[in-house]
Amino acid sequence: MRKLALTIRLLYRLLTIGLLCLFANVNDVSAAEASIKLVQNGILKGDLVMQFQAEEVFTEKVIKFLNRGFTVRIEYRVELWRKRKYWFDHLDTQHSISYKINFAPLEKRYICLKSQQGAAITSKLDRQLDKIIQWTTLPDPPLIVLPIGQLNQEAEYYYNIEIITATLTGENIKDLRKWLDGFGDRESEDSTLTNTTFRVAKDFISSRNQKKRSARSEDFRLRDLPRLSD
């Protein structure tokens, strides 16, 4: 009887994960292509600085996931490339800006945590999703790319900006794991298979609920850029 009970619990867990994978497949983040505009590109106090604006990031399905309680992650990767004749272009620097957004239904407000280069730097609370969208699609202040002393005044450069939009993140999977584990004590006989199944489900869900898009700016030279003021 004990082995039968263990088998039933394990089958239930596998069935739940399978349904979640199917759900992830059906509700895959769609479709509309995000566009990126270079709002500002210039030199400020001896640094190359830039600011961009992303559009069509928060699709209808992304908003639906968010309002249903799933974590949504928006990540930008900003790369500065130097063009080189007869060689592959050179990556001079790379920056990451990410936003982790949750909806708190009891307080009826959105919670957004901003990180840069993997370190949390600020957060924002608001009851209006439009303000969160504005905050996450027009990163402010402008990004300090590199001191101009580290760049070639005569070379041509361009930015490559990548947007990653993810729903059903790893945190959601951890929550699901805790929920499933509440249906009885963990047994060593099924723990290995359960852990393996969760890893497979997590990889599947991440791949099905993540969209990656990129855009490239026009070429520019430092000498042609405007001098910016605070």
Q: Are 150 and 73 in contact (CB under 8 A)?
A: no
Residue at 52 is within a domain: yes
The CATH number given to whatever domain includes residue 73 is 2.60.40
Q: Does the structure show a pLDDT above 80 at 189?
A: no
Q: Does the structure show a pLDDT above 90 at 6?
A: no
Q: Between the CA atoms of 12, 13, 18 and 23, what dihedral angle is there, to the nearest 10 degrees?
A: 100
Q: How many CB atoms lie within 10 A of CB 161?
A: 20
Residue at 205 is within a domain: no
Q: What pLDDT sits at residue 24?
A: 43
Q: What is the pLDDT of residues 30-45, one digit of tens each?
A: 334 558 899 999 999 9
Q: What pLDDT sits at residue 30?
A: 37
Q: Ramachandran region of residue 110, left (φ > 0), alpha (ψ -120 to 50) or beta?
A: beta
* Burial annotation 219-229 (CB, 10 A radius, 16+ → b, else e): ebebeebeeee
Strand 119-126: give its sheet, edge to edge.
Answer: 119-126, 109-116, 90-104, 72-82, 157-167, 210-216
| pLDDT mean over 63-77 | 91
Q: What pLDDT sits at residue 126?
A: 95
Question: CA-CA distances (angstroms) from residue 132 to 112, 139, 145?
Answer: 7, 11, 24
pLDDT classification of 84: cutoffs 50, 70, 90: very high
Q: Does the structure show a pLDDT above 60 at 70?
A: yes
Q: How many DSSP H helices and E strands does the chain contain?
A: 5, 9
pLDDT classification of 180: cutoffs 50, 70, 90: low
Residue at 193 is within a domain: no
Q: What is the pLDDT of the chain when averaged over all its residues?
A: 79
Q: Are 158 and 220 in contact (CB under 8 A)?
A: yes
| pLDDT mean over 10-26 | 47
Residue at 38 is within a domain: yes
Q: What is the pLDDT of residues 86-143, one digit of tens each?
A: 889 999 999 999 999 999 988 899 999 999 999 999 999 999 999 999 999 999 999 9
Amino acid at 61: K
Residue at 34 is within a domain: yes
Q: What pLDDT sits at residue 26?
A: 35
- Residue 141, preceding peptide bond in cis (omega within 30° of 0): yes
What would the two tokens of residue 95 be? 């920056």
Q: Are 78 and 144 in contact (CB under 8 A)?
A: no
| pLDDT mean over 202-208 | 53
d(CA 87, CA 30) in angstroms, rounded, equals 37
Number of domains in the chain: 1
Q: Which of 73-82, 162-171, 210-219 has the highest mean pLDDT?
A: 73-82
d(CA 178, CA 214) in angstroms, rounded, equals 35
The residue with greater pLDDT, 209 or 32, is 209
| pLDDT mean over 180-189 | 50
Is the pTM higher than 0.95? The answer reads no
Q: Which structural domain range is residue 80 located in?
A: 30-170+211-222
Work out whether strand 210-216 and strand 157-167 pair parallel, antiparallel, or are unpaired.
Answer: antiparallel
Q: What pLDDT sits at residue 167?
A: 81
The residue with greater pLDDT, 180 or 84, is 84
Q: Does the structure show a pLDDT above 50 at 157?
A: yes
Residue at 87 is within a domain: yes
d(CA 59, CA 166) in angstroms, rounded, equals 12
Residue at 125 is within a domain: yes
